[in-house]
Amino acid sequence: MSHFAEISGSNNIVTRVIVAEQDFIDSGAVGSGSDWVQTSYNTRAGVHHGDVSGSYVPDGGVALRKNYAGVGYTYDEERDAFIPPKPFDSWTLNEDTCQYDPPVEYPDDENRYIWNEDTTSWVDMRDE
């Protein structure tokens, strides 16, 4: 079985994702086959992941369309990629991963942080 994303409107927004066979999509049972684009559950940030010894890690497989599609994602035909919604105005699209990067890198320590768009900085969750 494969995963397929239904693309709607002129903005190519994903409205649903289903598990199906290509023959089912082509049958018209869920609308026009041209409204559906295959996506891979194992693809994230342009890297294929798999279950290796109980961990979901990069496994060297072939990535499909940069990211697994989700409702609200955009399918970019030129990039042949699914792009998530932009989380914050200050973040920019990474052309390699088709994900959004913050203007400041996530801190590399043991603490957990949340993004503060007003200050465009990471805030330690212990301080919140």
Q: What is the pLDDT of residues 11-48, one digit of tens each?
A: 999 999 999 999 999 999 999 999 999 999 999 999 99
Q: What's this model's pTM, rounded to 2 decimal places?
A: 0.88
Beta strands in 1-128 (DSSP E): 2-8, 13-20, 36-39, 43-44, 47-52, 55-58, 74-76, 81-83, 92-94, 99-101, 113-116, 121-124
pLDDT digits (tens, 9 = 90+) for 53-75: 777 788 888 899 999 999 999 99
Q: What is the pLDDT of residue 115?
A: 97
